[in-house]
A and B are shown apart, each in its own frame.
Chain A
C-alpha cells in the first residue's frame, strides 16, 4: 500500500503511523504554504514518532510546481490523507475531484473537525474545540461535586492530545475501509471523517439518558450510583475506588483489616452504601492516607477488587505488565537522546 500523508496534524500523523505498522509505505507531504502544526512539528521527538517509516517531501502546494509534484506522487498512490478544510484543500489540489482526475483509483480520506460538508465545513477547530462541540467537554470531568454555582469549575477539554489521536485511530480504519470499498467497486473513493462525529458514540449512555429520561448530563452529575466510587487521596497520591459488587466490598473490608464499623451487614447493600457514602468516605480516609497507591491497588487486585492506582504518565514505564508485553520499544535515531516509545497495543 502506498500512502500519501498530506496532513498537518496529529490525527493524520497517527493514522499514517498505524498504517505504516501494517505495511504501508508512507510519504509525508509538508506543505510550506501553511504554518506548521505546533503539536506535530514543534518537538523533534514528536515529529520523529509520528513520521516514523516515512519519506518526506516539502512543497508549496499553492504553486504550479508544488501541485505538479503532488500529482506525480499521487499517480500510483493507493490512498491519501488530508486534514485541511475544503477551502484550503481545493485550491491546493488536495480535494477528491482533483486527485481522482489524476488517479481514478485513489482513496482520499479527510479528517477535519466538523466534516467536509455542512455549514461548519470551513470552520477551524483544535482538540479542545472539538471536545466542546461534541458535547464531551460539558460532561468533563465526571462526577464533579459542584462548588457553589460551579463558575470556578468550567468544562474541561479532554486530556492532552487525546482527541487528535483518537481521530487518528478512527482515520486509519477509515482508510483501510476505503481501500476495501475500492476492491468492491473498482474505483477510488472519498472518505469523510468528522472528528466531532467520531467522538459522539462515546456518549451512548448520556444520549440514552436524554432520549428516555429527559436528563441532560453534565459534569456535576454522578454517572453511576455506586459507593465507594471515584478518585480518593492516599499516602503518595490517588487511587480510583470502584465497588460494583458485594464481593468487592467484602474484599475492601478485608484489606482494611475488617474494622468493626464495616462489618455491619447493611453495608453489603449498595443502596445503603450509596446513601451513606459521605460517612463511608470519612471512615475510609485514614486508612487510605496510611497506604501508598501501588499497595492499595495490589492488595485490591489480589482480592479481585477493581481498584486502580491513579498513575502519572511517568509511572507507565515501571508497570510490569507493559514491560512483560514489551509495549515500550527502544528508539534511537542518532539525533535525539535514546528513549523508550510506545509501540502497538497488541504483540506484533
Chain B
C-alpha cells in the first residue's frame, strides 16, 4: 500500500521540472501516464549520456532516471483526434502536470479552463520559469538562468570574487518538490470540498524562497560577505580544509560548544595562535574519509567532498540501499536512486522508465472500456 494508490496523473512534462514532479508522485504509488508527442520529443530523450554510447530515444540515462515508475502514451497533440484522446484521458485523471511555456497548453486546447470543463474537480499544476501571468511571464529561462535571476549565483562565490554558476538544478528540482507538495495538498482539499485546484507555480519564486532566511533578515539590503561562499557567520568555525590526496577536501562546521570541544580533542588540545593553520595541518595529514570519521566520532559536524564514484560507495547510502538496479527493456540493467521519502513498513516497487508509447494501446483500450 502506498500513499497515492488509486491517484491517476497525466504528465505532459518535459526536460526537468514537470517530469520530476510526476516522478515524485509515481514514487508515492500514483498511476502516472506520460503523454509524449512522437514528433516533438522531450529533449532529454534525445540527449545522452547513453549506455555503450549508442544513441536512441529509449536509451537516455537522464530521461530514464527521471521517468521511472511511469507509463508512456504517444499522442500527437497537434492532431485533432489524438488531442481528443488526451482530453478523454483527462476525464479519467485526478491530476495534470505540465511545464510548457505559458500559453502552449491554451493553444493545444488543454488549459485549465478547458480541462475543468471536462473534469470539474481536476487538479492541474503548471510549472514555468516566471509564472503564467505578469510582465516577464514570457521571458525565456532555463534552470541555470534562474539561478542568476533569483540571486542564488550572487551567494555562490569565493571571497571577494565574482558570482559563479551553481551546481545541481535547484530551480527545477525544488520547484518539482514544491509542486508535488501543492498537488498532495490539493488532493486533501478536494476530499473535503470536492473542488479541484489550479497551481500556477513560478520557478523563479521557488528559487527565491531557497534564500528565504536571508530575504527576511536583509530586506532590500546587500547581503554581507559573511554569507557568501563557504562562510557562515553563525558558525564558530566553518570552512573547507585540504586533505591528503588530489583535490581532497573536508568541510568542518563548528556550531556549538560540544562541537568545539570535539574539534579541540581531535587537534590534541585547544590551538594557541592561528586556528585555521592548526586545522589545516591536521587535515593535510588525513584523507577526507579518515578526517570525516575522526571528527564525527568527536561529535564535530564534518563531511568529505565526495565525488560521484565515492558517493556510490558511501557506506551510509549502501546500507540504506539508496542506489538500486532495475531492468530496462532496452538498456538492460540500470542503476537508479531510491525514492527520497521512506515510509516504515512500506516498500514501494521501482520500475524502469517506459519505452516511447509502450502503453498507448493498453491505456487507450482501458479508456474505451470505461466508456
A complexed with B: yes
Task: Give chain A's interface residues, CB within 8 Å of chain B.
Answer: 10, 14, 18, 22, 35, 38-39, 42-43, 45-46, 48-50, 96, 113-115, 117-120, 123-144, 150-151, 153-162, 165-166, 169-170, 172-174, 176-181, 184-185, 189-194, 196-213, 215-219, 230-231, 233, 238-240, 242, 244, 301, 304-317, 319-322, 324-325, 327, 331, 339-342, 344-347
Closest to A341 in B: B216
Closest to B202 in A: A345
Q: Which of B144, B154, B238 contacts A126 (CB 8 A)?
A: B238
Give me the 8 closest cross-chain CB pairs, A-B, nearest first. A208-B61, A141-B164, A140-B167, A126-B253, A129-B303, A159-B155, A345-B205, A38-B234
Q: Does B112 contact A (CB under 8 A)?
A: no
Q: Does B235 contact A (CB under 8 A)?
A: yes
Q: Which of B131, B165, B251, B335 contacts A132 (CB 8 A)?
A: B251
| Nearest CB on B from A298, distance (A) | 9
Beta-carbon contact of B154 and A312 below 8 Å? yes
| Nearest CB on B from A238, distance (A) | 6
Beta-carbon contact of A199 and B341 below 8 Å? no
Residues of A within 8 A of B219 (CB): 45, 317, 339-341
Q: Does B100 contact A (CB under 8 A)?
A: no
Instruction: Indicate whether A200 sits within 8 Å of B322 (C-beta atoms), given known contacts A310-B163, A327-B205, A342-B215.
Output: yes
Closest to B173 in A: A202
Stretch at the interface among B78-86, B89-97, B206-214: B206-214
Beta-carbon contact of A158 and B153 below 8 Å? no
Q: Does B28 contact A (CB under 8 A)?
A: yes
Beta-carbon contact of A346 and B164 below 8 Å? no
Residues of B within 8 A of A174 (CB): 341
Instruction: Indicate whether A208 sits within 8 Å of B173 (C-beta atoms), given known contacts A120-B316, A157-B251.
Output: no
Instruction: Indicate whether A201 sits within 8 Å of B307 (C-beta atoms), given known contacts A115-B316, A157-B230, A312-B151.
Output: no
Stretch at the interface among B34-42, B114-122, B179-187, B363-371: B179-187
Q: Does B340 contact A (CB under 8 A)?
A: yes
Residues of B within 8 A of A18 (CB): 181
Beta-carbon contact of A342 and B208 below 8 Å? yes
Beta-carbon contact of A208 and B154 below 8 Å? no
Can you name 17 A-B pairs with beta carbons within 8 Å? Answer: A113-B301, A118-B316, A118-B319, A127-B232, A132-B249, A139-B167, A156-B157, A161-B211, A173-B341, A179-B188, A211-B49, A212-B53, A233-B162, A240-B153, A306-B142, A314-B223, A341-B215
Closest to A181 in B: B3
Q: Whole-angstrom distance between the alpha carbons of A157 and B314 in the complex?
A: 19
| Nearest CB on B from A61, distance (A) | 17
Mostly, the B contact residues are mixed
Q: Does B362 contact A (CB under 8 A)?
A: no
Residues of A within 8 A of B152 (CB): 159-160, 162
Residues of B within 8 A of A321 (CB): 130-131, 134-137, 139, 202, 204
Q: Does B302 contact A (CB under 8 A)?
A: yes
Residues of A within 8 A of B149 (CB): 308-309, 311, 319
Given contacts A123-B296, A158-B170, A180-B188, list 12 more A-B pairs with CB under 8 A: A38-B235, A49-B212, A131-B251, A156-B157, A161-B211, A165-B212, A181-B2, A204-B62, A211-B49, A213-B48, A341-B219, A346-B182
Instruction: Indicate whether A231 sits within 8 Å of B164 (C-beta atoms), given known contacts A135-B307, A347-B200.
Output: yes
Residues of B within 8 A of A238 (CB): 148, 153, 162-163
Residues of B within 8 A of A327 (CB): 202, 205, 208
Closest to A43 in B: B217
Q: Whole-angstrom distance between the alpha carbons of A158 and B171 in the complex?
A: 13
Q: Whole-angstrom distance between the alpha carbons of A210 and B313 in the complex?
A: 13
Beta-carbon contact of B210 and A166 below 8 Å? yes
Q: Whole-angstrom distance between the alpha carbons of A244 and B15 in the complex?
A: 14
Stretch at the interface among B103-111, B264-272, B342-350: B342-350
Q: Whole-angstrom distance between the alpha carbons of A210 and B141 in the complex?
A: 27
Closest to B341 in A: A174
Q: Does B72 contact A (CB under 8 A)?
A: no
Q: Chain B 50-68, CB within 8 Å of chain A: the 1/0 string?
A: 1111000000111001100
Q: Does B99 contact A (CB under 8 A)?
A: no
Instruction: Indicate whether A138 sits within 8 Å of B306 (C-beta atoms), given known contacts A39-B213, A205-B62.
Output: yes
Beta-carbon contact of B140 and A212 below 8 Å? no
Q: Which of B48, B211, B234, B304 contacts A159 (CB 8 A)?
A: B211
| Nearest CB on A from B330, distance (A) | 13
Instruction: Indicate whether A316 sits within 8 Å of B307 (C-beta atoms), given known contacts A128-B230, A128-B232, A176-B188.
Output: no
Q: Does B4 contact A (CB under 8 A)?
A: yes
Residues of B within 8 A of A136 (CB): 167-168
Beta-carbon contact of B227 and A154 below 8 Å? no
| Nearest CB on A from B235, distance (A) | 7
| Nearest CB on B from A314, distance (A) | 5
Q: Whole-angstrom distance between the alpha carbons of A131 and B177 in the complex?
A: 18
Instruction: Indicate whether A314 sits within 8 Å of B200 (C-beta atoms), given known contacts A170-B177, A321-B134.
Output: no
Instruction: Indicate whether A135 sits within 8 Å of B311 (C-beta atoms), given known contacts A191-B343, A231-B163, A345-B201.
Output: yes
Q: Whole-angstrom distance between the alpha carbons of A39 and B74 in the complex?
A: 48
Closest to B16 in A: A204
Residues of A within 8 A of B232 (CB): 126-128
Most buried by B among A153, A196, A239: A196
Residues of A within 8 A of B322 (CB): 197, 200
Residues of B within 8 A of A184 (CB): 1-3, 5
Beta-carbon contact of A218 and B307 below 8 Å? yes
Residues of A within 8 A of B242 (CB): 151, 154
Beta-carbon contact of A190 and B343 below 8 Å? yes
Closest to B211 in A: A160
Residues of B within 8 A of A208 (CB): 48-49, 60-62, 65
Beta-carbon contact of B151 and A181 below 8 Å? no
Beta-carbon contact of A156 and B168 below 8 Å? no
Beta-carbon contact of A141 and B217 below 8 Å? no
Most buried by A among B142, B153, B304, B309: B153
Q: Whole-angstrom distance between the alpha carbons of A39 and B203 in the complex?
A: 25
Residues of A within 8 A of B312 (CB): 210
Q: Does B355 contact A (CB under 8 A)?
A: no
Q: Whole-angstrom distance between the alpha carbons of A168 and B60 in the complex?
A: 31
